[in-house]
Every structure is written in C-alpha cells, then in structure tokens.
Amino acid sequence: MVETGSTSILIVDDSSALRTILSSHLSVKGYRIIQAKDGHDGYKMYKKYEPDLVISDVNMPVWNGFDLCKIIKFDPNYNATPVALITSSINQEFLIKSISVGADLFLTRPYQESTLIAQIEQLLERGGWKPNRERIEQIEFDGQMYEVPTDWKHLSDIMLNAYLAVIHQNSLLQKLSNELSRANRELTQSKNEIRRILTNTMPEKVVDDLMQKGQVEPELHEQVTVMFTDFVGFTKSVGAMPPSQLIKNLDFYFSFFDNLINKYKLEKIKTIGDSYMVASGVPEPHPFHALACLCVAFEMIQFIEEIPESDTDYHYWPIRIGLNTGPLVAGIIGNKRFAYDLWGANVNIASRMETVAKSNTVYVSEFTLAHVQEYVLYKEVNKEHLDLDVNVRVFELSGFNNLFASPDSKYLPGEEILEVLGIS
C-alpha cells in the first residue's frame, strides 16, 4: 500500500492496526506512506520505491526488524536511507543488537505525536549512518558475540537517543501508573458503594458470593426461624392519611425494627406494605435462632405499647407477630433488582401464625416453642377459633417468664438471655 506525497516513509510491521496508527500520525504531516507486513516484504518495498526513511518493528515473522536493518545498512549500494526501529521497551539486548545492525533511531510505543514528528524530521535532515566495515569491534553480551561498528559519533547519537527514549518511556509509564492508580481507587470506591447498596437489601455473605462469583446458589437451611409482622388497622389508615404522613409513620416503626434486627443479628428479608419479614439462621447458622427472633418480637410489642393512642406525631398501630421454625430454601431470584428470599412450607406456616394472631401478641408454632419453651409464658390456642389451614399446634406467648425476664418488663430479656445471645 502506497500513499501519494513528497517525502516517502516505509512502515514495516506485521500488525495492520499498528501500521495504521503510525501511518495516521505521519500522513497528516504530508509524508507519503508505504506499508509492508514483514521484513521480507519490507525489503522488497525498499528496493522498489527507495523510500527516504524506513521505520520497522523489531518482532516480526520471516525477517525481523534487526534482519531488515542489517540487510539495508550493509548493502554495498546503501544510499544513506535512515532506519528507525520500533520497540515497546528499551533494554540492553535491544540496544546492543540495534547498534550492531546500524540502526539510526529508536521509536518507542505508545507514540507521543509531537516527539515522534520532531525525531523523524531530524533524522530525515541528518540522513542515515553508513557503517564502516573496517571499524568493527567484537563485543560479547549475555554469552553471545556481536559485531559493533566503532563510529563514536554514531554511538554517542544512538546512546543519547536511547537515553531520551528511556526517559520518555518512564514518563509514559509514570503517567500510566498514576492513571491506573486513580482508576483503581475509583473502582474500589464504586465496588464499596455497590456493596453498601447491596448489603442494605441482602445478607453480607450473599453479597460477597454475588460479587465474587456473579451468582448465588440456592441453599437448604435446616434450622431457621422466620417471623412475620403486620399492623392492625393499617389498611384503613391508607385511605384516611396523607401519603407523606403514612410514609413518616411506617418509617418511624420500621427504623426501630431495623435497629432491633441489627442488635440481635437477624436478617431482614423484606417488607411488603406494612408487613415486615425477618429470619434467623440464614445465610449463616445461628445456635439460638428462635430465641433471638423472639427477643425482637417482644421488644417490638414493648415499643408499640409505649406509644399512646392519642399520640399526635405518630399513629398508633397494634401489631400481630407470627413465628415458625424449620428447614427452608434460601437464595436470590431475578437478574434485575436482585432479591434474597426464602421458600418452603415453614415460611408459609410463619405467615399463617401472624395472620391468626391477636393484636400485640406473638403466635408461634409448636416447632418454635420447642426451642424457647423454658424462657417464656405461653398457652396453647384453641385452633377451632382460628382460620388455619395447616395441621400444627399454635401457642400464644405473652412474655418472658420470671426467671428470664428483665426486672423492667416481661417483654425485655434478662441478663442471662443476653449473655446466651452474646449481646452486651
């Protein structure tokens, strides 16, 4: 491929993309560009078009850049055409080989256009250096012998060029290092922000798996306690209360619930309207999952009963709470707006416990009671009066018993329970 123009430059590189990049830098300055795909092809182009300058990559098949440079430079009919070699890094081996084949200039990638053009203009003005075969020295480097021309003017020029190229490379590397450091900081900040957002919607362990593996495998958990809550009279309030006041009230209650969840190390699964779903024992096992859930349930009731019905700032809503314990499946659903959720019959039973519970009471299944029976006041509920579609015994819990309750309230755990749960 040959472009029209006055001064001609032969570009030799086995990468068409890299040839195009260099050509674009030079053609805008009016140079006529000739392209070749390797050293052998480059030599044919050199003989055919007799370019004013040859710029060759070093690493190529067939003939590499050193081969091409040496053939051109040591041709008896050499006409002082300068040869520049391209490299991505200058090291001792590259330097000694370049000197031995008579290279006139080093060009380093990535190119800085102003420096590139200035170097080429100077080289075209100066012309190529013709090696003197009578002034050759044998130099051993890394176990290999090289024939090096001893033209000290040329050697000083080429060493200065190498020195300037290394400085240029170091400058680019430092700039690249700074850019990479900045990009890495921004990436870390973005990852931390994404993690913060995700941990507000799902457990930390699940977030870690999602960010590291890109997916979360569903898991069967053998011992989990699930709790549902629901406000009594909320549906009527929706139509009678301004939206801003409705949200203000829900936020007031749910913010307190969230604090309880953190205190007792439970997992908030989701809220649906005024329903609040919590679990203990997922995604990590909890040795006292039922007791931890129960502490949260009782403290919710304690909090709500302390709100006077005449409160003008926040609407008083009694609460129903239901708990059940057993195996279930946990995992993430969807590929947008990921949601960590729980499935299984035991989740449905917990929901049914809440549905049939009375205001400001906790209803639990026989499976949950088996884990907390020694700590609480309880009585079995006559299922004949319940709209219950599951065959399970139901118990109403009215607080901690005298052995385990706080002196301040039957709804608050005493020191022994707090110690068991590891809460100071």
Three-state SS annotation for 248-296: HHHHHHHHHHHHHHHHHCCEEEEEECCEEEEEECCCCCCCCHHHHHHHH
pLDDT at res. 149: 61
What was the pLDDT predicted at 417?
A: 96
Across the range 28-36, mean pLDDT stands at: 91
- The listed range with the strongest mean pLDDT (71-85, 182-196, 250-264, 307-321) is 250-264
Give the pair of three-digit tokens for residue 208.
């870690």
- DSSP β-ladder status, 394-400 and 105-108: unpaired
How long, in residues, is the chain?
424
Question: According to DSSP H, which parts of 280-413 are helical?
Answer: 289-305, 345-356, 366-372
Residue 38 and residue 65: Cα distance in Å, rounded? 8
Asked if 32 and 8 touch (Cβ cutoff 8 Å), the reply is: yes
Q: Is the pLDDT of residue 372 over 60?
A: yes
Task: For the chain, list the domains and their CATH numbers.
Answer: 8-175 (3.40.50.2300), 205-421 (3.30.70.1230)
pLDDT of residue 2: 47
Flag whether pLDDT at 183 surpasses 50.
Answer: yes
Distance CA 137, CA 280 (A): 82
> Is the per-residue pLDDT at 200 higher than 80?
no
Instruction: Determine contact, residues 228/354, Cβ cutoff 8 Å.
Output: yes
Under the banding of pLDDT at 50, 70 and 90, the label for residue 131 is: low
Question: Given this model, what pLDDT does residue 168 score?
Answer: 65
Task: Select, from the ranges 99-103, 150-154, 157-161, 326-330, the one with the highest average predicted confidence (pLDDT).
Answer: 326-330
Where is average pLDDT lowest: 153-157, 162-166, 183-187?
153-157
pLDDT band at 156 (very low <50, low <70, confident <90, very high): low
More confident residue, 169 or 313: 313
For all residues of the chain together, what is the average pLDDT? Answer: 86
Determine the pLDDT at residue 209: 79
pLDDT beyond 50 at 394: yes
State pTM to two decimals: 0.60
- The arithmetic mean of pLDDT across residues 341-349, rounded, is 94
Kindly report, residue by residue over 209-236, the tens digit of the pLDDT. 777 777 778 899 999 999 999 999 998 8
**In which element (H, E) is residue 12 found?**
strand 8-12
Q: Where are the alpha helices (DSSP H) in 76-228?
A: 92-100, 113-126, 152-199, 204-213
Residue 93: what pLDDT?
76
Quick one: which H or E segment has residue 103?
none
Per-residue confidence at 4, pLDDT binned at 50, 70, 90?
very low
